[in-house]
Chains A and B, each alone.
Chain A
């Protein structure tokens, strides 16, 4: 496994609540990686540390096998696309893209060729002599991307690059970004607070909250096997049930008993996705009362109560099928295989 970026026990900030606390992770070369978390989780700070805007209080950052922890931003050769794009308003598109190459003291002819190639790649060849202010948001985004990839950085850093685009453009750019990254075979790290962005684009996701890594894994693994409450609820909807695992592997909570889910005995919290629960006539499984019903198009969502424990159930909707009413008693079946035991 070729190493792309290594974050080695990085802490940033001082005091009782540092911005980042003992963060370690590895990004493989050529991988598309995402840092996912709510605002204030430290994800952008981590990205900025990789770019060199700030130095970790402790820990190391490696790009390939090179320790860059103490290198200034301009010596790192990592390309960053800023959330605001940060295009220089006093320079033409061409000048913006050429800037990094000029810093690398390339021959003029080579700069021209590379700038032309980069603009071609993002489909903006005919806009080379415009000022950034004369371009649309999506076009500005492409210029920012061209300006970054033209220097052939070892790592491409993307700080919420799609957050300023409207919903439709956002989906388009997401696909384009992924294709571009594959074509260039470049290591990319993408910061976002949007789980859909992260799920659709990334090979691997690191979920951050309060300066700590909560879980690292593929989008599917994070969704199906969340490690803790935060990951379970941040990625999609989850029913969290507090209870106790008995020595035999049986889970017992107020009004709920589940057989043979395994796990270490003692107090535990389990997570079940609403669509992993099936509905049965009353008398089967866990007996619940329907408190609220939402029709969401493809599915019907029931907010049910098992005693004091709320459980949300999603049922795929088919025309002609029975719909249960508020106040009705039904049974819920939860298969042990669908249950995640959280830390």
Chain B
């Protein structure tokens, strides 16, 4: 047969050689450049400055200065202590709740699920002032205690206050992760252990605990890192002997050139990475979630009457605790005066009128910045997710990992890095520094929220079976038509959810905001709340703004949840 002589030896095409088309390569390079310019370079810059001496050479002298400074040493241990104690307190709240949901037929289960979301819609710094008014030395609770029993409990004294506020805000991370772990345990795992003679504590120790541990550790590590990095809550509670406030104060009061802010930043990064690494080490080879069939969780038991009563009382108690900052901030926003009193002296709507009259720019700035940041995140996240899942381009996994690691970058550190890196870059049209231009806030938000949009987009594409695209190509649609007619419409829900999540979390971001806002006119809502809350007179309007922020975030979160639910519904019925 003559066919032998005409065997076509394929010359590898561009796509075959690089694992993707030129457009796909361009997308990957574009995302990588964004991350390099606005995340990697700023962070490296921070690290570089921390190790650079006055003569420009390498030095460790700043670190020995750090160690010689008693205040900074205390700050370091305080930060560790606060983060660790927050994990303990948050666990005391979250573990019983997760156990109740997983183990028992309990009618209040829906309530617990709500409990898991409520704290997250209000940033801790917003609630901090309200918590002071309720639990502080002269707050409602202590006034009552003192009047009735003659003693006070120092809930809010110094570091206690930070721990209390942060634990109430962050316990849902442990609750959600642990619940997910528990509900992934196939009941047959437990039943087969029982069948082989295990029960009671042995059953828990040998089967339930090891299978639930990954979720708990993941949640706990996240709480530790978030608390360790939080700047706004300690600042608002007037606690400055912690690392984040120290770094902020050094940079804002001494100046951008003071190396101590950078040294603290490096230590914060190391501690964040250390906590993550420790969690990773604990979990190595222990994440069994993919090996299980997700059998709907452990078998549930009925609780006795007493059990129901105890569980109910516990949940109501937690609910009151969790809602107290929300209630407090709402009362504060409609209070004439609230000081040294159990409840406000009188009520007024003047703060809202005030806020709507004067703070329009704060709200419109927030919508502009966070909307743009959400948009950037969706575009970058969707492009990157597509390239990662649908091409074999070298380096795509690395870019994805870098983008995801933004979640572990403290906002404060990113803020300092961006400020330092772009301070000398001038805008061509006004000569203003790029670092103090309002768009830098958008970029800071976009970098730190990219992981949310990226995971949302990744999930959306993973649900999109590749044959849906191939079917379109098979019927004559080119890559572009396939993208616009099939891929994008099917991803809309996921992308929208990603956008809303980015938007909502950026709207209440304060760490980077505090550093990057240069002009009052450019300030967003979170900054406005912070500034108002600084003075006694500003608390009312600050609280009113806080309520507005909470409402915006709550609506956005609810929308994201509804969109995600609806998408899951369509997709699950499709196959």
Tell me the minimal C-beta distance from B501 to chain A in angstroms: 22
- The residues of A that contact B8 with a CB separation of less than 8 Å are 56, 58-60, 69
Contact present for A99 and B474 (CB under 8 Å): no
Q: How far is the CA of A69 from the CA of B489 in the complex (A)?
A: 31
Docked complex Cα distance between A150 and B181 (Å): 48
Asked whether, in the complex, the Cβ of B7 is within 8 Å of the Cβ of A80, the reply is: no
Partner of A90, one of B478, B481, B489, B575: B489
Instruction: Please tell me if the beta carbons of B4 and A9 are within 8 angstroms of each other in the complex.
Output: yes
Q: A59-B8, A60-B6, A83-B467 are in contact. Are A133 and B570 (CB under 8 A)?
A: yes
Contact of B92 with A by CB under 8 A: no
Stretch of B9-17, B285-293, B310-318, B409-417 that contacts chain A: B9-17
* B574 and A53 within 8 A (CB): no
Q: Find out whether the CB atom of B10 lies under 8 angstroms from the CB atom of A60.
A: no
Interface string of A81-119 (1 = CB under 8 A from B): 011101111100000000110011000000000000000
Query: Does chain A have a CB within 8 A of B301?
Result: no
Pick the interface stretch among A70-78, A312-320, A334-342.
Answer: A70-78
- A52 in contact (CB, < 8 A): yes
Residues on A with C-beta less than 8 A from B470 are 51, 53, 73, 80, 82, 86
| Neighbouring A residues of B570 by C-beta, 8 Å | 89-90, 133
Q: Residues 35-63 of chain A: 1 if any B CB is under 8 Å from the residue's CB, otherwise 0?
A: 00000000000000001110111111000
Q: Mark B468-486, 1 if CB is under 8 A from A, else 0.
A: 1011111111100100011
Do B468 and A57 touch across chains, with their CB atoms under 8 A apart? Answer: no
> Within 8 Å of chain B (Cβ to Cβ): is A8?
yes
| Contact (Cβ within 8 A) B474 A78 | yes
Give per-residue flags for A116-146: 1 if the beta carbon is below 8 A from chain B beta carbons, else 0.
Answer: 0000000000000000111000000000000
Most buried by B among A72, A80, A83, A90: A90
A147 at the interface (CB under 8 A from B): yes
Known: A72-B473, A88-B490, A89-B570. A57 touches B10 (CB 8 A): yes
- Whether a CB of chain A sits under 8 angstroms from the CB of B573 is yes
- A100: chain B residues at CB < 8 Å are 475-476
A58 x B10 contact (CB < 8 A): yes
Name the distance in Å between A79's Cβ and chain B's nearest Cβ: 7
**B contact patch SS:** helix
Q: Of B472, B574, B575, which contacts A99 at CB under 8 A?
A: B472
Asked if A151 lies at the interface with its beta carbon under 8 angstroms from chain B, I say yes
A147–B10 CA distance with the chains assembled, in angstroms: 32
One of A55, A88, A148 near B13 (C-beta < 8 A) = A55
The answer to whether A52 and B476 touch across the interface, beta carbons within 8 angstroms, is no
B571 within 8 A of A: yes
Q: B465 at interface (Cβ–Cβ under 8 A)?
A: yes
Which residues A18-49 have CB closer than 8 A to chain B? 24
CB pair B10–A80 under 8 Å, yes or no, is no
A31 to chain B, nearest CB (A): 20
Given contacts A9-B4, A59-B7, A88-B490, contact A74 B467 (CB under 8 A): no
Say if the beta carbon of B306 comes within 8 Å of chain A.
no
Knowing A78-B474, A104-B476 touch, does A86 contact B3 (C-beta < 8 A)?
Answer: no
Whether B474 and A51, one on each chain, are in contact in the complex, defined by CB atoms closer than 8 angstroms, is: yes
Q: Is the beta-carbon distance between B10 and A9 smaller than 8 angstroms?
A: no
Q: Does B476 contact A88, Cβ atoms closer than 8 Å? A: no
Instruction: Point out the residues of chain B lying under 8 angstroms from A59, CB to CB.
Output: 7-8
Judging by beta carbons under 8 Å apart, are A88 and B3 in contact? no
User: When the two chains form their complex, are residues A79 and B6 in contact, meaning their CB atoms are under 8 A apart?
Assistant: no
B392 CB to nearest chain A CB (Å): 12
Give CA–CA (A87, B571) in the complex, Å.
11
A53–B4 Cα gap in the complex (Å)?
24
List which B374-400 residues lie within 8 A (CB) of chain A.
none
Q: Once bound together, how far apart are the Cα atoms of A55 and B10, in whole Å?
A: 8
Given contacts A8-B3, A9-B4, A58-B9, contact A82 B467 (CB under 8 A): yes
Contact in complex: B9, A80 (CB < 8 Å):
no
CA gap between A60 and B3 in the complex, in Å: 9
Bound: A145/B45 CA distance, A: 59
B471 in contact with A86 (CB, 8 Å): yes
Contacting residues, chain B, for A134 (C-beta < 8 A): 573
Chain B residues within an 8 Å CB radius of A77: 476
Q: Name which of B6, B8, B468 has the most chain A CB atoms within 10 A of its CB.
A: B8
Q: Which of B3, B16, B570 lies at the interface centre, i.e. has the most chain A CB atoms within 10 A of its CB?
A: B3
Most chain B beta carbons < 10 A, residue from A59, A72, A83, A151: A59
Determine the chain B residues whose CB is within 8 A of the CB of A147 once the complex forms.
471, 475
Q: How far is the CB of A54 from chain B (nearest CB, A)?
A: 10
Instruction: Choose among A9, A79, A86, A104 the residue that contacts B467 (Cβ–Cβ < 8 A).
Output: A86
Determine which of B10, B477, B490 lies in contact with A74 in the assembled complex, contact meaning CB atoms within 8 Å.
B477
**In the complex, what's the smallest C-beta–C-beta distance from B485 to chain A, in angstroms?**
8
Complex CA gap A59/B473 in Å reads 23
Most chain B beta-carbon neighbours within 10 Å: one of A60, A74, A132, A148: A74
With CB as the reference atom, state the residue of chain A lying closest to B477: A103
Closest Cβ–Cβ distance, residue B243 to chain A (whole Å):
49
In the bound assembly, the distance between CA atoms of A56 and B3 in angstroms comes to 15
Chain A residue, CB-CB nearest to B574: A89
| Interchain nearest-CB distance for B391 vs A (Å) | 14
Residues of chain B lying within 8 A (CB to CB) of residue A74: 473-478
Chain B residues, CB < 8 A from A104: 476
Is B471 a contact partner of A82 (Cβ separation < 8 A)?
yes
Instruction: Indicate which residue in B4, B472, B574 contacts A133 across the interface (CB closer than 8 Å).
Output: B574
- A103: which B residues are within 8 A, CB to CB? 475-477, 481
Write out the residue numbers on chain A whose beta carbons fall within 8 Å of the beta carbon of B571.
89
B490 in contact with A89 (CB, 8 Å) = yes
**Closest chain B residue to A55 by CB distance?**
B10
Nearest residue (CB) in B for A51 is: B474
> What is the bound-complex CA distance between A217 and B559, given in angstroms?
60
The 0/1 profile, CB within 8 Å of A marked 1, for residues 1-43 of chain B is 0011011111001001000000000000000000000000000
On chain A, the residues within 8 Å of B474 by CB distance are: 51-52, 73-74, 76, 78-80, 148
Given contacts A78-B474, A99-B475, are A88 and B7 in contact (CB under 8 A)? no
* Cβ–Cβ contact A151 & B10, under 8 A: no
Q: Let me know if A151 and B7 touch, CB within 8 A.
A: no
* Beta-carbon contacts under 8 Å, B420-461 to A: none
CA distance A104 to B474 in the complex (A): 12
Q: How far is the CA of A82 from the CA of B476 in the complex (A)?
A: 15
Q: Which chain B residue shows the least CB distance to A78?
A: B474
Minimum CB–CB distance from A199 to chain B (whole Å) comes to 27
**Distance of A263 Cα from B475 Cα, bound (Å):** 50
The CA of A194 and the CA of B308, in the complex, are separated in Å by 56
Closest to A69 in B: B8
B9 close to A84 (CB less than 8 A) = no
Q: Which residues of B contact A132 (CB under 8 A)?
A: 574
Query: How distant is the Cα of A53 from the Cα of B470 in the complex, in angstroms?
Result: 8
B569 to chain A, nearest CB (A): 9
Q: How far, in angstroms, from A269 to B541 measured CA to CA in the complex?
A: 93
A55 touches B478 (CB 8 A): no
Given contacts A100-B475, A148-B474, list 15 more A-B pairs with CB under 8 A.
A9-B3, A9-B7, A24-B3, A56-B8, A58-B10, A79-B474, A79-B475, A80-B474, A86-B468, A88-B486, A89-B570, A89-B571, A103-B476, A103-B481, A132-B574
**CB<8 Å pairs between A and B, sample of 29:** A8-B7, A9-B3, A9-B4, A52-B474, A58-B8, A58-B9, A59-B7, A59-B8, A60-B3, A60-B8, A73-B470, A73-B473, A74-B473, A74-B475, A74-B477, A77-B476, A78-B474, A82-B467, A82-B470, A83-B467, A86-B465, A87-B471, A88-B472, A99-B472, A103-B476, A104-B476, A132-B574, A133-B573, A148-B474
User: Which 6 pairs of residues, A with B, have the shortest CB-CB distance?
Assistant: A100-B475, A133-B573, A103-B476, A89-B574, A86-B467, A86-B471
Residues of A within 8 A of B (CB): 8-9, 24, 51-53, 55-60, 69, 72-80, 82-84, 86-90, 99-100, 103-104, 132-134, 147-148, 151
